[in-house]
């Protein structure tokens, strides 16, 4: 997960094939400032109806049938229509307006542990039939081909009720938010030399149908606003960033105002102007609340996704019922918290989302399970089957992952540390599933000396081993908070929006990747 737009992977977008097949590296990054939507529910339905992005139930049933024609066990049709829009302010002007439509159909066939997948951005029957045949090809017993069950429409109460839809908002209302952020940031501190602000929304309509008779539609709205500033003083420059949003209405920005976002970005950038080198080596570390939940996402979340456990590639394989964390830790993945960035009414396989207790008082209780792995592992579906778009097949993924509050106050936690590191704001993280090594990047940290937060320090990466770090959680705060709605999670080249949360947490020891080595001097 990352709080900034960044692509220094060295692989260009143009490289048509993704080099992401290692299956080992899971990254959370902030989304590129892109996704935004522009239609209210009625307008969206109208837009879908006037586009070619629709299929009647008869066509869907036909495709499900063709997909099973080679003897596959299960077939599924996934139809997407998304409108993205965004506005960007740079150097005190609206630099550009972006608008785009993503539409297409993905067809999947499952046969044991095998997946066949075809997709098309063209809604002509010939193209769709060809996608269905590609998917069907994974199976090889045409003589035993089954017929799909009759599809029966079923819809669920919307987990993410929307107040004001994107298209009910004039462009000027959005640009006003950006100008407010700009003005506040620049007037707040004269050391601010750059302000970038962006506003993005997206509205999607999905239809998911499968050969077991499921047919459901889902509408998804996503808003996001970001503010990024650069402060400069004595030839030193630092960035500050803040953003937020979720699956909610435009009215959210009456609460999460541009002033709040801008002030926080300015605060971070200006604090960092005085930062000293971060410590290097093992430290007692206090993590802030909210977005710090990236710790959970990386340290255990990915390791509890069902695919890695079925394939026995995770460190948590076969450990349900065992103690994997300190008894202070109860960790949840909950896809049906209203209006959060990681929340969904149904997952991308049409399964309603729910609250899944992953770790209860330190004991491993559950994995996150999609359809393919649920069947093979004989486990209940947890509403965790997610995908980036119609071009991708689903995988077990997180939604909103958080740690339940404990009893300590944040003050008690800080004052219990004689010498340590306080991590307040965070960038991105990554994990290697097989050996458990995970990192997350602190963008704003402080020294703790004699129970007091003292000097700000430069950004540093924290590294640990997932199952070990959770056994070192020695204090859990009572100030639980979810993040502001900025996270994206990447897995095998697929990116999905997610949320995290936690209270203040103290870890007895974790390695801090700074440059200040006790007794050594640094060059460069």
Partner 1 sequence: MTIQEAAKYTVERAMKSGADQADVYLESGRESTVTVRMGELETLKQATSKGLGLRVFTGNRLGFAYTSDFSKKSLKAFAKRTVEMAEEITSDPHNVLPDSTKKDAYPDLGLYDSKIAEIPIDWKIKTAKKMEETTFAYDKRIVNSSGASVYDGELEAVIANSLGIFHTYKTSSCTLVCSPIAEENGKKESNYWYTSKRFFEDLESAEEVAEKAAFRAIRMLNPTKPKTQVVPVVFDPQMAASFIGIIFYALNGESILKRSSFMVDKLNEKVASGKFTMIDDPLMKRGIGSQPIDDEGVPTNTKTVIDAGKLKYYFYNAYSAHKAGKKPTGNARRGYSSTPSVGAWNLYLKAGEMAPEEIIKSVDNGLYLTRTMGWGVNMVNGDISRGASGLWIENGELTHSIGEATIAGNLLGMLKNVSMVGNDLEFRSSRAAPTIKIDDVTVSGT
> In this structure, are residues 417 and 286 in contact, taking their beta carbons and an 8 Å threshold?
yes
Q: In angstroms, what is the minimal distance from the CB of 468 to partner 1?
A: 9
Q: In angstroms, what is the minimal distance from the CB of 28 to partner 1?
A: 9
Q: In angstroms, what is the minimal distance from the CB of 51 to partner 1?
A: 7
Task: Using CB under 8 A, pick the residue from 248, 368, 433, 470 that binds partner 1.
Answer: 433
Q: Which residues pair with 510 in a beta bridge?
A: 283
Distance CA 465, CA 114 (A): 32
Task: Using CB under 8 A, pick the residue from 342, 385, 420, 464 that binds partner 1.
Answer: 464
Site for partner 1 in 165-184 (CB under 8 A): 171-172, 175
Task: Using CB under 8 A, pick the residue from 158, 168, 194, 471 that binds partner 1.
Answer: 194
Residue 498 — φ and ψ, nearest 5°? -140, 165
The reply on whether position 455 binds partner 1 by CB under 8 A is no
Q: In angstroms, what is the minimal distance from the CB of 393 to partner 1?
A: 7
Nearer to partner 1 among residue 89 and residue 332 (C-beta): 89
DSSP secondary structure string for all residues of 232-254? EETTEEEEEEEEEEESS-GGGGG
Site for partner 1 in 277-296 (CB under 8 A): 278, 280-282
The reply on whether position 520 binds partner 1 by CB under 8 A is yes
The reply on whether position 121 binds partner 1 by CB under 8 A is yes
Q: In angstroms, what is the minimal distance from the CB of 183 to partner 1?
A: 15
Torsional class of 235: left (φ above 0), alpha (ψ -120 to 50), beta (otherwise): left
Residues with Cβ within 8 Å of 241's Cβ and at least 6 positions away in sequence, in order, are: 3, 4, 226, 227, 228, 229, 265, 268, 443
The reply on whether position 34 binds partner 1 by CB under 8 A is yes
Q: In angstroms, what is the minimal distance from the CB of 204 to partner 1?
A: 15
> In this structure, are residues 246 and 485 in contact, taking their beta carbons and an 8 Å threshold?
yes
Query: Which range, of 54-62, 87-95, 151-159, 251-259, touches partner 1 by CB under 8 A?
Result: 87-95
> In this structure, are residues 49 and 43 in contact, taking their beta carbons and an 8 Å threshold?
no
The reply on whether position 515 binds partner 1 by CB under 8 A is yes
Residue corresponding to tokens 């330190």:
362
Q: In angstroms, what is the minimal distance from the CB of 297 to partner 1?
A: 13
The reply on whether position 119 binds partner 1 by CB under 8 A is yes
Token pair listed for 260: 């709040």
The reply on whether position 22 binds partner 1 by CB under 8 A is yes
Nearer to partner 1 among residue 8 and residue 378 (C-beta): 8
> In this structure, are residues 379 and 393 in contact, taking their beta carbons and an 8 Å threshold?
no
Distance CA 196, CA 242 (A): 11
The reply on whether position 120 binds partner 1 by CB under 8 A is yes
> In this structure, are residues 457 and 277 in contact, taking their beta carbons and an 8 Å threshold?
yes
Residues with Cβ within 8 Å of 56's Cβ and at least 6 positions away in sequence, in order, are: none
The reply on whether position 149 binds partner 1 by CB under 8 A is no
Angle at 243 between CA 262 and CA 476, to 5 degrees: 110
The reply on whether position 141 binds partner 1 by CB under 8 A is no
Query: Which range, of 150-158, 358-366, 457-465, 497-505, touches partner 1 by CB under 8 A?
Result: 457-465
Site for partner 1 in 304-333 (CB under 8 A): 311-313, 315
Site for partner 1 in 485-504 (CB under 8 A): none
């Amino acid at each position: 997960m990352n709080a900034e737009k960044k692509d220094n992977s060295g692989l260009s977008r143009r490289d048509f094939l993704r080099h992401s097949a290692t299956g080992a590296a899971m990254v959370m990054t902030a989304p590129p400032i892109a996704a935004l939507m522009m239609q209210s529910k009625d307008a969206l339905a109208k837009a879908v109806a006037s586009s070619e992005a629709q299929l009647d139930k008869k066509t869907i049933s036909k495709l499900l049938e063709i997909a099973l024609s080679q003897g596959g066990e299960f077939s599924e049709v996934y139809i997407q229509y998304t409108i993205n829009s965004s506005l960007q302010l740079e150097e005190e002007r609206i630099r550009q307006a972006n608008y785009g439509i993503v539409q297409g159909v993905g067809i999947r066939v499952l046969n044991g542990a095998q997946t066949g997948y075809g997709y098309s951005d063209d809604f002509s029957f010939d193209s769709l039939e060809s996608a269905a045949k590609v998917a069907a090809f994974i199976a090889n017993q045409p003589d035993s081909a089954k017929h799909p069950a009759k599809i029966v429409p079923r819809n669920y109460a919307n987990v993410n009720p929307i107040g004001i839809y994107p298209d009910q908002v004039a462009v000027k209302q959005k640009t006003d938010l950006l100008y407010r952020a700009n003005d506040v940031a620049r007037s707040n501190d004269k050391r601010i030399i750059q302000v970038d602000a962006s506003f993005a929304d997206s509205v999607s309509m999905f239809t998911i149908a499968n050969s077991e008779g499921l047919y459901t539609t889902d509408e998804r709205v996503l808003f996001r606003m970001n503010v990024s500033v650069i402060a400069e003083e004595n030839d030193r420059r630092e960035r500050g960033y803040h953003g937020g949003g979720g699956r909610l209405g435009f009215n959210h920005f009456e609460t999460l105002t541009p002033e709040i976002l801008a002030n926080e970005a300015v605060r971070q950038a200006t604090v960092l102007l005085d930062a000293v080198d971060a410590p290097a080596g093992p430290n007692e570390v206090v993590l802030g609340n909210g977005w710090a939940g990236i710790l959970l996402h990386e340290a255990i979340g990915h390791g509890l996704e069902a695919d890695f456990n079925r394939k026995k590639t995770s460190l948590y394989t076969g450990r349900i019922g065992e103690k994997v964390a300190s008894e202070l830790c109860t960790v949840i993945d909950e896809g049906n918290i209203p209006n959060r960035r990681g929340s969904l009414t149904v997952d991308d396989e049409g399964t309603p989302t729910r609250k899944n207790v992953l770790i209860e008082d330190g004991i491993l209780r559950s994995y996150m399970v999609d359809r393919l792995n649920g069947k093979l592992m004989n486990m209940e579906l947890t509403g965790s089957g997610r995908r980036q778009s119609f071009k991708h097949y689903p995988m077990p993924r997180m939604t909103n992952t958080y740690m339940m509050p404990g009893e300590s106050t944040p003050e008690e936690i800080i004052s219990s540390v004689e010498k340590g590191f306080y991590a307040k704001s965070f960038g991105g993280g990554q994990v290697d599933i097989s050996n458990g090594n995970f990192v997350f990047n602190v963008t704003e940290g402080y020294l703790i000396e004699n129970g007091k937060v003292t000097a700000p320090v430069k950004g540093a990466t924290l590294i640990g081993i997932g199952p070990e770090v959770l056994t070192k959680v020695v204090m859990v705060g009572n100030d639980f908070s979810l993040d502001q709605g900025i996270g994206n999670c990447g897995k095998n080249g697929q990116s999905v929006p997610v949320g995290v949360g936690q209270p203040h947490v103290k870890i007895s020891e974790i390695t801090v990747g700074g440059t200040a080595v006790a007794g050594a001097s640094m060059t460069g």
